[in-house]
Amino acid sequence: MFQDATLVDLSIGIEDGAASEPDPASIDRMDHREGAEWLAQNLQAMGQDVEADDFPDGTSLAWEEVHAITHTATHMDAPYHYGAESGGEPARTIDEVPLEWGLGEAVVLDVRHLDAGAEIGVDDVEGALDDLDHELSEGEIVLIQTGADELWGSAEYLTQFPGMGREATLWLVERGVRVIGTDAYGFDKPFLEMGRRFEETGDPGELWPAHLAGREREYCQIEKMANLDELPRKTNVPLVAFPIVVEDGSAGWVRPVAVFEEGAA
């Protein structure tokens, strides 16, 4: 069915010690010789007379042990990430998020003209939609293009991007948007900018306002997306973005992929 489709990978993978992660993952690798030794030890513990050298070429299976938070690399935040309740009801964890939310058509809103640290407001969202001559529909997925993914691999990735504000987030959700993605490190403004604004004003509403909007209206967000500039168009983008099931999880790793059938791009 999709053998002639064009696939655009919109994700960043889990990397060992990535400079763009404040809490980087670590990956312990077992090579093929170590795999043979480990499997032989397991068989010996079961009473079997097997040595590592008994495997073909003295090697067997390789694998990795990954230590990472669920918010490493490209991931989908569940409503539970924002608070215990959403809209007065118990907030859904990632294993409770309907699969249908991650399947549909997406629209890409280009805000690359905004400065790092700026707050994306309703006017910015409406302006980006006007530029596309596009009207949102129920269940549509919105992807925010900041251009920050170009900085992946550097520490600047953590600080050089604009972030969504509370009002813009609620404006989208109130129009039936259930999933909002961004190619930046975070959905809100950078940590230091939020901290600076809080110190300046004393207003707790400056701290993660877009995230905490999810306590009022239910939605999911995808953070650390990439390659939005490789999409052949910015509207009616067929998107598949299913998160990994993590029991009672606040998030799950996800690999969003745009799927354009032959002749449809």
| Residue among 73, 174, 82, 86 nearest 122 (CA) | 174
CATH class label, 75-260: alpha beta
Angle between helices 122-132 and 166-173 (to 10 degrees): 50
Q: Please state, in angstroms and rounded to a whole number, the distance separating the CA atoms of residues 229 and 3.
A: 23
Burial of 253 (0-12, 13-18, 19+ CB in 10 A): buried
Would you give per-residue pLDDT tens digits along the chain (265 residues)? 567 899 999 999 999 999 999 999 999 999 999 999 999 999 999 999 999 999 999 999 999 999 999 999 999 999 999 999 999 999 999 999 999 999 999 999 999 999 999 999 999 999 999 999 999 999 999 999 999 999 999 999 999 999 999 999 999 999 999 999 999 999 999 999 999 999 999 999 999 999 999 999 999 999 999 999 999 999 999 999 999 999 999 999 999 999 998 765 5
pTM over 0.75: yes
- Domain ranges for the chain, please list them: 26-67, 75-260
Provide the CA 204 distance to its chain's centre, in angstroms: 26
Structure tokens at 155: 């520490």
* Adjacent-strand bridge partners of 144: 109, 182
